[in-house]
Amino acid sequence: VQLVQSGAEVKKPGESLRISCKVSEYSFTNYWITWVRQMPGKGLEWMGRLDPSDSYTNYSPSFQGHVTISADKSISTAYLQWSSLRASDTAMYYCARHGDDYHFDYWGQGTLVTVSS
């Protein structure tokens, strides 16, 4: 099982961004994909999750409306996107898979997003 995330990004406030998480060696539609934020020197924060089988999503109230989680089943890839970045979005972002029991057994390597003017 592998979750491979896209590379580091440097953006300016107000810009848009989409980062990706491509999975392999398991059936993409059999597990949820979750996104987790880790701000510099801080802890893990659950952002939201997606069911790749039907693209159903739900978000943490802390992130609802600021990010969008989506997926392309044809290429076994999940996405996390912002339409207008803020400096406070600077963080490492991880994708992870989980089943109905909500434990994250495989993680991506992380994507560092830096937002600075």
Partner 1 sequence: QSALTQPASVSGSPGQSITISCTGTSSDVGSYNLVSWYQQHPGKAPELMIYDVSKRPSGVSNRFSGSKSGNTASLTISGLQAEDEADYYCCSYAGSSTSVVFGGGTKLTVL
| Tokens read off for 4 | 């491979």
Residue 67 vs residues 1, 27, 31, 76, 100: alpha-carbon distances, Å: 26, 25, 21, 20, 23
Residue 49 in the binding site for partner 1 (CB under 8 A) = yes
Least spacing, CB of residue 46 vs partner 1, in Å:
4
Residue 110 in the binding site for partner 1 (CB under 8 A) = yes
User: What one-character DSSP code corresponds to residue 73?
Assistant: G
Q: Which of 51, 53, 63, 107 binds partner 1 (CB under 8 A)?
A: 107
Q: Which of 46, 53, 66, 114 binds partner 1 (CB under 8 A)?
A: 46
Residue 63 in the binding site for partner 1 (CB under 8 A) = no
Pairing, β 2-5 against β 17-24? antiparallel
The DSSP bridge partners found for residue 65 are none
Q: Which of 43, 65, 74, 117 binds partner 1 (CB under 8 A)?
A: 43
Residue 26 in the binding site for partner 1 (CB under 8 A) = no
